[in-house]
Amino acid sequence: MLSRHPWAYERGALWVMEFDVPATGPREARVAATYCEVGAEAAGALVKAMGISNGVVVDRLAVGSRCFVARVAEGIAAYGWISKVVESIGELERPFHMGKGEAYIWDCATLQQYRRQGLYTSLLYTMATTLSGEGTHRLWIGASRGNRPSLRGIASAGFKPVIKMTYIRLFNVKHVQVSAYPTASPTLVAQARQGLLGKKV
């Protein structure tokens, strides 16, 4: 997916949760909410919460992407999408390829009035436990390294950082730099690089 701008710059990180490693559940959110997967029946509510067209929601569901939400009395307060096999990382303008038994969380947000109340962490944990119960063994998620609230939520849900990514594009000239977090295993780093770059490195 190419940006409309002549240039692009993004500093991101890729995190992982492996389901053979026991994870501690997050603290309960500070606002009452229910967490569940939604489908086409919730398209109208998703359009309202996300500010996108009904067609985008329908298209995502049609290709097998799944959406999970945190619901409060007023409606959807937070949402996140999950894909398997391959999904585009818009900020890096490239696809991320997953192996068998892996999934990728993307396009997550908490509506502004519900932020800093633990909904994001609880939603991520719900998504992870649901997928684990279905047989998924590894879950990836990406985030901007400058988005501290998102990074805190990701860490609190039980994810561990694997690689840092810096992406630069000026017109058609592109460069991506990838480096490992010191705490990440070499095997995970290699798999993250392969998923991001589409080749063994």
pLDDT score recorded for residue 166: 94
Task: Say if 91 falls within a structural domain.
Answer: yes
Using alpha carbons, list the distances in angstroms from residue 37 to 76, 86, 151: 12, 20, 23
pLDDT score recorded for residue 173: 92
pLDDT score recorded for residue 23: 59
Q: Give the N- to C-terminal CA distance of the chain in Å, as an integer.
A: 23
Task: Say if 2 falls within a structural domain.
Answer: no
pLDDT score recorded for residue 24: 63
pLDDT score recorded for residue 142: 94
Task: Say if 130 falls within a structural domain.
Answer: yes
What residue numbers bound the domain in which 153 lies?
7-26+82-197
29 burial (CB, 10 Å; 0-12 / 13-18 / 19+) is buried
pLDDT score recorded for residue 107: 96
Task: Say if 181 falls within a structural domain.
Answer: yes
Task: Say if 86 falls within a structural domain.
Answer: yes
Domain count, the chain: 1
Both tokens assigned to 33 = 């909410």
pLDDT score recorded for residue 21: 61
- Can you list the residues of the chain whose pLDDT is less than 70? 1-4, 21-24, 199-201
Q: d(Cα 17, Cα 137) in Å, to the nearest integer?
A: 8
pTM recorded for the entire structure: 0.91
